């Protein structure tokens, strides 16, 4: 474990109009951590994740990736990134997997996976293709590489999206409810891929409703309630003897 955390959030605040979604959230994820972020809908967990790569701009607080603080300048309505280039560079090192896959529908699976390596990271095409094929084989959809996303099942699409994120050679991976849009019988294949990534020692922050994943795979659980961290710690402690009444209610409900 290194001294500098891979992701550090300090007193993060975010409002949408009059609605205060994040009321000062702090969190640290170190290299190799797998952090499960739990909470009922409206608890601010997705917003928090999206603040990490500035898809949502925080109104206050600080985001640091591997020690580098992302500069924010105040505007009339809140904040905006001070340096767009810094944000673009930081984003290219963070892989994101969305609830609704968000694969680019005009590109085949392979084209989706090599898009960012070639055009954002300017890597040679041959190298990107070779690496993409290896990644697709790893997530188990090598045979689908020339299919368009619309022709795949939800589980295959999500695995393609994970491959797309992996191809960025990310330092950190963000998962925003990666199994919530899937039919129940397809959840397993996606969770298996995520578990194998965790075993490789990748740094992952996962917003999820999958208690099994949180309990068995992650080494840290964060429970968000109404915009504040209500409980956090190793899954063993948090799940068995959390002092938070709300977390016990959440588990029961």
Give the span between the Cα atoms of 163 and 157, in whole angstroms.
Answer: 10
For the CB of residue 99, give the shortest distance to other proteins in the complex, in Å: 9
Q: Which is nearer to other proteins, 49 or 221 (CB)?
A: 49
Measuring CA to CA, which residue among 52, 39, 61, 59 is closest to residue 6?
52
Quote the strand ranges of 98-214, DSSP E.
Answer: 172-176, 204-207
Q: What is the DSSP letter of 202?
A: -
Q: Which is nearer to other proteins, 107 or 228 (CB)?
A: 107
Q: What is the DSSP letter of 65?
A: E
Q: What is the DSSP letter of 150?
A: G
Give the torsion sign (CA, 69, 75, 80, 85).
negative
Segment (H or E) for 152 = none
For the CB of residue 95, give the shortest distance to other proteins in the complex, in Å: 8
Q: Which is nearer to other proteins, 36 or 108 (CB)?
A: 108
Q: Which is nearer to other proteins, 148 or 239 (CB)?
A: 148
Q: What is the DSSP letter of 3?
A: S
Which residues contribute to the site for other proteins (CB under 8 A)?
A: 53, 55, 84, 87-94, 96, 98, 100-108, 115-116, 119-120, 148-151, 161, 164, 168
For the CB of residue 92, give the shortest distance to other proteins in the complex, in Å: 3
For the CB of residue 72, give the shortest distance to other proteins in the complex, in Å: 17
């Amino acid at each position: 474990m290194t001294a500098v955390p891979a992701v550090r959030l300090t007193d993060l605040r975010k409002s949408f109009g009059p609605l205060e979604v994040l009321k000062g959230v702090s969190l640290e994820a170190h290299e190799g951590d797998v952090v499960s972020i739990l909470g009922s809908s409206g608890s601010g967990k997705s917003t928090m994740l999206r603040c990490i790569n500035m898809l949502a701009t925080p109104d206050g607080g600080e985001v640091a990736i591997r020690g580098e603080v992302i500069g924010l300048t105040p505007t009339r309505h809140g904040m905006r990134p001070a340096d767009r280039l810094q944000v673009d560079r930081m984003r290219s090192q963070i892989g994101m997997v969305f609830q609704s896959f968000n694969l680019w529908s005009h590109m085949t699976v392979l084209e989706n996976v090599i898009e960012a390596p070639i055009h954002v990271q300017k890597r040679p095409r041959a190298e990107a293709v070779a690496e993409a094929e290896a990644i697709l084989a790893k997530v188990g959809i090598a045979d689908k590489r020339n299919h368009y996303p619309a022709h795949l099942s939800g589980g295959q699409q999500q695995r393609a999206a994970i491959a797309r994120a992996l191809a960025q050679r990310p330092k950190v991976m963000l998962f925003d409810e990666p199994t919530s849009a899937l039919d129940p019988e397809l959840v397993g294949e996606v969770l298996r891929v995520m578990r194998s990534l965790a075993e490789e020692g990748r740094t992952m922050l996962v917003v999820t409703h999958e208690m099994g994943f949180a309990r068995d795979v992650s080494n840290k659980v964060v429970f968000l309630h109404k915009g504040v961290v209500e409980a956090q710690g190793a899954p063993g402690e948090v799940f068995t003897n959390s002092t938070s009444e709300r977390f016990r209610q959440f588990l029961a409900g």
